Amino acid sequence: MVSYSFERVKRGLRKFGVLRPLNRHEYRTVWNSVSADLREAMVSVQGSSDENQFAVSAKATVETLKECVGIYPTDTVLEIGAGVGRVGDLLAPLCKEWIATDVSDHMLAHLSRRLAKQQNIRTVLTNGFDLSQIESGSVDLVYCTVVFMHLDEWERFNYVREGLRVLKPGGRMLVDNFSLLTDAGWDFFVKNMESYPPAKRPPNISKSSTPQELFLYFEKAGFRHIAQRTGAVLVTTFGTKPR
Ligand SMILES: C[S@@+](CC[C@H](N)C(=O)[O-])C[C@H]1O[C@@H](n2cnc3c(N)ncnc32)[C@H](O)[C@@H]1O
């Protein structure tokens, strides 16, 4: 998990002429401020700009997707908060179409350049709150990885609800967050508490979920066959849209 220092966000904001402190829900301004160039964007996504490290972690994410919800050559797949295409780089060749959505136009510009060789990619700039540009019932698989920690709970739930809307009947959705109930997740929670006095917390500071929170979102949104997997840090939740 990446730590987003208050100073780094502030430096980025100054570059864009934003001088006031930002709120958490100003997702586009916050994320554009930490992704001016590709190197900085990669550091913001996973703490390193090393392409090999990206490939290793992307492989692990794709394995999780395969094991939990499957990936098929006929699938239209949509990622919420796709960043610079860490996962899409490996996933796009495995499906029919990969739709990269993100609130940050900087991230999507880096993604388009990084993945220029892939022919089946579409990028969609979203408003940070919903998937309104995506047609209902048009997608086979929606996933969102390493993003929920940066969102308010309402946006987390709304993305699960929007996931259900854009999925075809029988379509699958998967999300993750770091779990407060794991040892590493608890340590990260305490580290953030001790690292930042309240007024110095970066707007995109990582906040945990519990498995119960994510399960409830899926249940209330109307998913079926909801299941969860907890790793050393992350809790992953997935389910199916009723036919
Ligand atoms: C830590 S990065 C993860 C990127 C990608 N999912 C990955 O695993 O490589 C978080 C991404 O979420 C995007 N993001 C942040 N808030 C968002 C929101 N409200 N809606 C959509 N995307 C958002 C950021 O711009 C950034 O690209």
What's the CATH code of the domain at 97? Answer: 3.40.50.150
Note the pLDDT of residue 21. Answer: 82
Domain hosting 82: range is 6-240
DSSP β-bridge partners for residue 99: 78, 122
Q: Is any atom of ligand 1 closer than 6 Å to the C-beta of 4?
A: no
How far apart are the CA of 145 and the centre of ligand 1, in A? 8
pLDDT digits (tens, 9 = 90+) for 36-63: 999 999 999 999 999 999 999 999 999 9
Query: In angstroms, what is the C-alpha Rg of the chain?
Result: 17
Q: Is any atom of ligand 1 closer than 6 Å to the C-beta of 87?
A: yes
Q: Is any atom of ligand 1 closer than 6 Å to the C-beta of 237?
A: no
CB-based contact 68:174 (threshold 8 Å): yes
**Do the domain assignments include residue 34?**
yes
Note the pLDDT of residue 182. Answer: 98
List the one residue out of 58, 130, 116 whose CA is nearest residue 88.
58
pLDDT digits (tens, 9 = 90+) for 69-119: 999 999 999 999 999 999 999 999 999 999 999 999 999 999 999 999 999
Q: Is the pTM of this model over 0.85?
A: yes
At position 207, the amino acid (one-letter code) is: K
Q: How confident is the model at residue 18 (pLDDT cuts 50, 70, 90)?
A: low
Would you put residue 17 in left (φ > 0), alpha (ψ -120 to 50) or beta? left
Note the pLDDT of residue 20. Answer: 76
Angle (nearest 5°) at CA 226 between 220 and 228: 115
Note the pLDDT of residue 174. Answer: 99
Note the pLDDT of residue 135. Answer: 98
Distance CA 147, CA 145 (A): 5
Above 60 in pLDDT, residue 194?
yes
Angle (nearest 5°) at CA 216 between 221 and 57: 95
How many domains does the chain contain in total?
Answer: 1
How far apart are the CA of 182 and the centre of ligand 1, in A? 23
**Do the domain assignments include residue 1?**
no
Average pLDDT, the chain: 95
The number of residues making up the chain comes to 243
pLDDT digits (tens, 9 = 90+) for 124-157: 999 999 999 999 999 999 999 999 999 999 999 9
